[in-house]
Amino acid sequence: MKRHLLRIVVPAYPTFNIYSRIACKTTALGPVCVATAAREIGGWDAEVIDENNLGRYGPRGAVGADHQVLQAQRSADIVGFYGGLTSTIPRLYELARWYRRQGATTVAGGQHFAGENVDEALANGIDYVVLGEGEETIRELIDALQGRTDLGAVKGIAYLRDGTVFRTAPREPLADFDRFAMPDFSLVRYARIRIYPVERVRGCGMNCEFCTVKGVPRGASADRLFENMRHLVETRDARHFFIVDDLFGQQRAEAIRFCRMLADYQQRIGRRLVATVQIRLDKARDRELLTAMREAGVAHVAIGFESPIDEELKAMNKQVRAEEMLSLVKVYRQFGFWVHGMFIFGYPALPDQAFTMPVAERVRRFRRFIRKARLDTVQVLLPVPLPGTRLRQRLERQCRVYGSDDVGWEYYDGNFPLFEPDAPLTAQQMQRGTKWIMGRFYRFQYVFLVGASILTFPALVFSLHNLRAGWSRWYLRWARCVIRFGGWLTMRKWTSDFRKSDFLARLQKARGHLNVCRDMG
């Protein structure tokens, strides 16, 4: 009997950006979870092709993978596409149209299709759009496509029926995660994974205006996350993990229990594991949680400061003020965490806010805050009006979002202005502002400090009675210099690619169309 194949594709980024380097070391977790669920169906195999991480042996095309080679090796019956990043959607549609011409059934899912863009997908080579989480949906859909059940009974999908878009009954968000198999990373072909994504909690109750992740947090048990990480250590020699929960520390008791289980395990095996988490700044008040995190090997915390400007924090629905953020971040530094600060530059004010600030003052505020917070690394992006967010709905009502015909989805990665900003800012100033801020933080001069750190290694390490503490202090200083020099290289590469692009011409055209829209009322 012929075995069938489900291939899930993570589309390539459209251009080099700040995520490109890290993408070569990791992969997206969602496609792995869906492929793992599909593999359990009798007669079916599953694989994941991550075009951003093809390792040494992956077949490469002009962009991403060479799918003709993949189909020649083994033809996929169903091809799924990961639509979690809006900037990859043009590549997703390009591949979907190609696979449909090869006779494959095409399926897409992810945040880009959560609230909008279903019609667009069905007009661009997608046969079925999954609305929501896919572990159960993919199994029901495969059963229906093989004639074992009725297609209309599959929950949480959209497809064309008699020329019109038909949506089936919605699927309730998953809650009992323990009944699913652990994500099987061996299904990701070619990829060289050094940082393994794992999760315990889905959903976030913070309700930020710019974010697509909403809903009551739904968590698996601490035991499941621990067993997942232990399995990866023992079968794939994993040492570095990214816990992808939008906010680590939700369901506090389980989070602390997990940390203690992981700390005990590391002590038993005599190996140190390193984890990165995303966490709210106000968790600094929970010293028991921070202590448990450090003992468990959580070394890096990514914190969404978003802005040092109180008016912008209010517009984002962030329940904190800039001065308070500075006092809270000190606690994370006292615990020895590597703090990665995430910021949004040029966030649009609310309609009832009488707030204007020139670009020079905005840049000065950001630089001063970053200096006072003593952050190890920073990421400054522009606001992205993602589909399905309240931010996009607000800006569309004001006729401020640049049309997708002019500024397409490929620009939705946080590096390009996507809407008409508040006066006196201009779109060009908004874009330059992020480079002015990060250009002060990531500099060429750090290459000399890397060399200086190497020369001072013996003096620093052996001058301390505790050699381990001396090594840790030296390593952090050295790593900080390496990363800041690497950040300079990344910015230089992005700037070079941007100058070769036609974005500025597109921007001028988009602004002209917005003026027509406003004139028409």
Residues 243 and 200: beta-carbon distance below 8 Å: yes
Question: Is the same domain home to 435 and 326?
Answer: yes
CA–centroid distance for 464 within its chain: 40
- Residue at 183 is within a domain: no
Neighbours of 497 (CB within 10 A): 12
Could you write out the three-class secondary structure of 205-249? CCCCCCCCCCCCCEECCHHHHHHHHHHHHHHHCCCEEEECCCCCC
255 phi and psi, to 5 degrees? -65, -45
pLDDT digits (tens, 9 = 90+) for 453-492: 666 655 554 555 555 555 566 677 777 888 888 888 888 8
- Residue at 493 is within a domain: no
- Residue at 157 is within a domain: yes
Question: Is the same domain home to 260 and 406?
Answer: yes
Residues 305 and 269: beta-carbon distance below 8 Å: no
The residue from 167, 186, 210 where one domain ends is 167
Question: Is the same domain home to 245 and 99?
Answer: no
Structure tokens at 476: 């952090």
Q: Which of 186-200, 211-225, 313-327, 490-504 has the lowest mean pLDDT?
A: 490-504
Residues 6+ apart with CB under 8 A from 321: 310, 313
| pLDDT on residue 520 | 60
Question: Is the same domain home to 350 and 273?
Answer: yes
Could you write out the three-class secondary structure of 137-149? HHHHHHHHHCCCC
- Residue at 507 is within a domain: no
Average pLDDT over residues 185-210: 91
CATH number at residue 16: 3.40.50.280
pLDDT digits (tens, 9 = 90+) for 409-457: 999 999 999 999 998 999 999 989 999 999 889 988 878 776 776 666 5
Tell me the CB-side half-sphere exposure of residue 474, using CA atoms within 13 A: 20
Q: Which of 228-232, 319-323, 341-345, 405-409 has the lowest mean pLDDT?
A: 319-323
CA distances from 59 to 47, 63, 68, 267, 354 (A): 15, 11, 9, 41, 54
CA 250, CA 264: separation in Å to the nearest integer?
21
The fraction of the chain above a pLDDT of 90, given in percent, is 67
Question: Is the same domain home to 438 and 330?
Answer: yes
Provide the domain count of the chain.
2
Question: Is the same domain home to 160 and 274?
Answer: no
Residue 261 pLDDT > 90, yes or no? Answer: yes
Question: Is the same domain home to 145 and 36?
Answer: yes
| pLDDT on residue 206 | 77
CATH number at residue 327: 3.20.20.70
Q: In which element (H, E) is residue 195 found?
A: strand 195-198
Residue scoring higher pLDDT (285 or 352):
285
pLDDT digits (tens, 9 = 90+) for 150-175: 999 999 999 999 889 999 999 999 98
Question: Is the same domain home to 198 and 106?
Answer: no
Q: Which of 72-81, 190-199, 202-211 has the lowest mean pLDDT?
A: 202-211
Question: Is the same domain home to 243 and 158?
Answer: no
- Residue at 119 is within a domain: yes
Question: Is the same domain home to 392 and 246?
Answer: yes
The residue from 424, 442, 460 where one domain ends is 442
pTM over 0.95: no
- Residue at 501 is within a domain: no
The fraction of the chain above a pLDDT of 70, given in percent, is 93
Phi-psi region of 215 (alpha: psi -120 to 50; beta: other; left: phi over 0): left
- Residue at 21 is within a domain: yes
CA distances from 486 to 52, 163, 480, 483 (A): 19, 51, 10, 5
Average pLDDT over residues 204-213: 82
Question: Is the same domain home to 293 and 146?
Answer: no
pLDDT digits (tens, 9 = 90+) for 321-355: 888 999 999 999 999 999 999 999 999 988 888 88
415 phi and psi, to 5 degrees? -105, -5
| pLDDT on residue 355 | 83
- Residue at 410 is within a domain: yes
Question: Is the same domain home to 209 and 135?
Answer: no
Which domain covers residue 112, as residue numbers? 4-167
The residue from 396, 423, 442 where one domain ends is 442
